[in-house]
Amino acid sequence: MISVAIDGPAGAGKSTISRIAADKLGFVYVDTGALYRAIGWYVRSLHRDPADAGQVGQSLNGLEIALRYTAAGQRVLVNGTDVSDAIRTPEVSMAASAVSAIPAVRDFLLELQRSMARKQNVIMDGRDIGTVVLPGATLKIFLTASPEDRARRRYEELRQKGQQVAYADVLADLKQRDYQDSHRAVAPLQPAADSVLVDTTGNTLEQSVELLVSTICKKLQIGERSVNEA
Ligand code: DC
């Protein structure tokens, strides 16, 4: 199986870019952030504190998370309920960041993520895919962009969804999440030593997809259609 690990900070366009690249290459796209979001959502739904390791640990006992693939893409289920849309709010983003710092949460999700890569060719995106989840990934990419560029994209995305947010708040949230994600004790966000850096600052979505696809094809020495045809 071929696995491409894509790590990088929040808002670098990782998920959108990776999803389109996976489609072009015939890989399954696995968005691992959705798993942390699902746990953040669940802990909030129980009115527990996402930053409290004890409360979060207890919540995991009654929790079953599953990923499903449909024509609408990846769906994430919490105890059988599809929460794919509900997990995309700023509140759940912060909760996801908080729970993702808790070792029990990372352990809980590890096998689920690895099993996805055993079954099929994947492009898996997250924060620790190349460093922890798939240390033997065929190719590791660190996809990033400047904080201002990332905040602008996230801001436009939220506004398009009709959420009333201010750019300054989005930038501040993003910097706080960057700090939390890269300074936590377990699996902090950092490029794997053997990763390839892809910087999308200033790119359009199409340019970023093209850059990612061409990097993958070059490194794996495959043509854009060869995996599909195999
Ligand atoms: O990529 P995202 O914004 O959907 O991720 C949500 C949160 O989950 C983010 O704060 C970092 C965390 N996360 C993680 O710690 N490890 C991963 N592999 C994916 C996401």
Asked which of 21-25, 34-38, 219-223 is least confident by mean pLDDT, the reply is: 219-223
Nearest Cα residue to 37 out of 108, 72, 89, 73: 89
The runs of H, that is alpha helices, within the chain are 14-25, 33-45, 53-61, 90-99, 103-119, 147-160, 167-183, 205-220, 226-229
Would you say the CB of residue 215 lies under 6 angstroms from ligand 1? Answer: no
Question: Is 195 domain-assigned?
Answer: yes
Question: Is 229 domain-assigned?
Answer: no
Q: Is 197 helix (H, G, I), strand (E, B) or coil?
A: strand
- Distance (angstroms) between ligand 1 centre and the Cα of 98 equals 10
This prediction's pTM: 0.87
Residue 165, token pair as written in the block: 């947010």
How far is the C-alpha of 187 from the C-alpha of 133, rounded, in Å? 10
- How many domains is the chain built from? 1
Question: Is 56 domain-assigned?
Answer: yes
Residue 1: pLDDT band with limits 50, 70, 90: very high
- State the residue range of the domain holding 35: 3-224
Residue nearest to atom 1 of ligand 1 (CA): 33
What tens digit of pLDDT does each residue of 98-122 get?
999 999 999 999 999 999 999 999 9
Question: Is 230 domain-assigned?
Answer: no
Which letter does DSSP use for residue 4 in this model? E
How far is the C-alpha of 46 from the C-alpha of 41, rounded, in Å? 9
Question: Is 112 domain-assigned?
Answer: yes
Question: Is 93 domain-assigned?
Answer: yes
